[in-house]
């Protein structure tokens, strides 16, 4: 039998909060926090903006030399280690791995350098010698390793908006293979700092507009009109259950099963059949039936195409009477891209302890195409039973789908 993999620590930053208790409190209260931003060359748009103490774990020089994604990774990783009670001085640094999902990396740095040399007549002698280490794909994970003195394997996993789930899955796989004893795993995103992502979503007519930025992201609502781009991050400490017990660690959840697949049908449009197949495979690998799931954390981008396709996929797997509650997080702070899946899982983990289900918000007029029993709309509810298992959905461009099942920390 493969070893059981558990979550023992959580570190996060989001537009809503910078720790799990405050993050959860905001979700339960139905309290969004979306600001506005003026991307280079563009007008003002709603955006999810993080405000965390960068210099808690980095010197000003370290933060200045690196990237925003690196700052997020260092903060989340260090906070996760502290939350897990893991003393790095007592652990073998070669047996710790860092596995971070990202949507993209390097666009921010390249855009900034091009804008900089424009001021000097495009003379490349003004191009920063820091550009290469800043823009390589493994940068956020590498920055965390440098900061924490971790000498085990590290990588960043490019998986579009499924990356947060993918990072967790990869960390669990490395633990099962025996490659590491501890995995710092999840996702980060610095997406709001590149004008290109705003401009591209605008060109697709998929960028949310609303006079009130806190109401711009509207998953499942009839009047939803697109994505609110957000930055953020969430990393977990994962370890084998026997190791966690040996050191007396608090266990937050167990990783029960997962699945990753590909639509292979379109660059951006989702495929409900492939999404359903990912969910079904994750359940089978977890040894669970649809009726065993108590909460479905929906990807729910608030796009006209995406939301009804996901509901169609959920309905095909769970039917109309599974009893699973369905919620979503993007109405609270926007779409954190590579960090989305990891953050959305974090928001639901406390349900194992408190039995509450946070809502999807900004649903004034439910789209009939998104109607499904047990959709938790606008107000948190009590589950009315112990929460045993959660399904966390993450789907991304080029048809990548990642479904993750976590269970109540028992036995």
Average pLDDT over residues 325-336: 98
Half-sphere exposure of 9 (CA within 13 A, CB side): 25
Tokens of 148: 């924490």
The 3-state secondary structure of the chain reads: CCCCEEEEEEEEECCCCCCHHHHHHHHHHCCCCCEEECCCCCCCEEEECCCCCHHHCCCHHHHHHCCHHHHHHHHHHHHHHHHCCCCHHHCCHHHEEEEEEECCCCHHHHHHHHHHHHCCCCCHHHCCCCHHHHHCCCHHHHHHHHHHCCCCCEEEEECHHHHHHHHHHHHHHHHHHCCCCEEEEEEEECHHHCHHHHHHHHHCCCECCCCCHHHCCCCCECCCCCECEECEEEEEEEEEHHHHHHCCCCCCEEEEEEEEEECCCCCCCCCHHHHHHHHHHHHHHHCCCHHHCCEEECCCCCCCCHHHHHHHHHHHHHCCCCCCEEECCHHHHCECHHHHHHHHHHHHCCHHHHCEECCECCCCCECHHHCCCCECECCCEECCCCCCEEEEEEEEHHHEEEEEEEECCCC
Digit-coded pLDDT (tens) for 125-137: 999 999 999 999 9
| 3-state secondary structure labels for all residues of 145-164 | HHHHCCCCCEEEEECHHHHH
pLDDT at 369: 96
281-313 pLDDT tens trace: 999 999 999 999 999 999 999 999 999 999 999
Say if pTM beats, i.e. exceeds, 0.75.
Answer: yes
pLDDT at 322: 84
For residue 28, give both structure tokens. 């339960």
Among the residue ranges 85-89, 161-165, 217-221, the one predicted with the least confidence is 85-89
The reply to whether domains 5-246 and 257-407 share a CATH topology is: yes
Task: Look at residue 320 in the predicted model and tell me its pLDDT.
Answer: 82
CATH architecture classification, 257-407: 3-Layer(aba) Sandwich (3.40)
Residue 131 to residue 109: CA distance in whole angstroms: 7
Average pLDDT, the chain: 97
- pLDDT at 411 exceeding the cut of 70: no
Output the six-digit token pair for 291: 């009726």
Region 318-328: mean pLDDT is: 92
Q: Are 381 and 325 in contact (CB under 8 A)?
A: yes
What's the pLDDT band for 47 if we cut at 50, 70, 90? very high
Q: Among residues 223, 215, 235, which one has the least CA distance to residue 333? A: 215
* pLDDT exceeds cutoff 90 at 356: yes
pLDDT band at 333 (very low <50, low <70, confident <90, very high): very high
Euclidean distance between CA atoms 395 and 330, whole angstroms: 13
Q: Where are the domains of the chain?
A: 5-246, 257-407
Nearest-CA neighbor of 258 among 280, 234, 235? 280
User: Any idea which architecture 5-246 has in CATH?
Assistant: 3-Layer(aba) Sandwich (3.40)
- pLDDT confidence bin for 155, thresholds 50/70/90: very high
Question: 97 Cβ partners below 8 Å, 6+ apart?
Answer: 150, 152, 153, 154, 171, 174, 179, 180, 182, 183, 184, 185
237 DSSP β-pair partners: 9, 184
pLDDT above 90 covers a percentage of the chain that reads 98
């Amino acid at each position: 039998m493969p070893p059981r993999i558990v979550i023992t620590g959580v570190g996060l930053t989001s537009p809503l909060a910078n720790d799990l208790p405050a993050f959860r409190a905001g979700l339960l209260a139905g309290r969004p926090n979306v600001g506005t931003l003026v991307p280079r060359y563009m007008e003002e748009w709603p955006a999810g903006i993080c405000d965390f103490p960068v210099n808690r774990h980095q010197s000003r020089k370290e933060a200045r030399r690196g990237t925003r994604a690196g700052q997020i990774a260092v903060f989340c990783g260090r906070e996760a280690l502290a939350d897990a009670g893991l003393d790095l001085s007592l652990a073998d640094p070669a047996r710790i791995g860092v596995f971070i999902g990202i949507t993209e990396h390097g666009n921010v740095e390249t855009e900034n350098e091009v804008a900089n040399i424009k001021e000097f007549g495009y003379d490349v002698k003004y191009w920063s010698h820091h550009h290469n280490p800043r823009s390589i794909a493994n940068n956020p994970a590498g920055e965390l390793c440098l900061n924490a003195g971790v000498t085990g394997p590290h990588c960043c996993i490019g998986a579009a908006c499924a990356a947060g789930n993918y990072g967790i899955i990869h960390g669990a796989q490395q633990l099962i293979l025996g490659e590491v004893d501890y995995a710092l795993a999840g996702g980060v995103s610095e997406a709001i700092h590149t004008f290109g992502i705003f401009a591209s979503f605008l060109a697709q007519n998929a960028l949310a507009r609303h006079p009130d930025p806190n109401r711009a992201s509207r998953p499942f609502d009839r009047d939803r009109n697109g994505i609110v781009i957000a930055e953020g991050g969430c990393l977990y400490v994962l370890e084998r259950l026997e190791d966690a017990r040996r050191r007396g660690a608090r266990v937050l959840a167990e990783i029960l099963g997962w699945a990753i697949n590909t639509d292979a049908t379109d660059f951006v449009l989702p495929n409900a059949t492939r999404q359903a197949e990912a969910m079904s495979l994750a359940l089978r690998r977890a040894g669970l039936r649809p009726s065993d799931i108590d909460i479905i954390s929906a990807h729910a981008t608030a796009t006209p195409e995406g939301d009804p396709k996901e509901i169609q996929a959920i309905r095909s797997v769970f039917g109309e009477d599974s009893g699973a509650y369905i919620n979503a997080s993007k109405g609270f702070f926007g779409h954190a891209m590579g960090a989305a899946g990891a953050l959305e899982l974090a928001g639901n983990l406390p349900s194992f302890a408190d039995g509450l289900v946070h809502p999807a918000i900004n649903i004034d007029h439910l789209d009939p195409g998104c109607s499904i029993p047990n959709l938790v709309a606008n107000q948190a509810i009590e589950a009315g039973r112990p929460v045993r298992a959660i399904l966390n959905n993450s789907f991304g461009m080029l048809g990548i789908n990642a479904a993750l099942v976590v269970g109540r920390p028992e036995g």
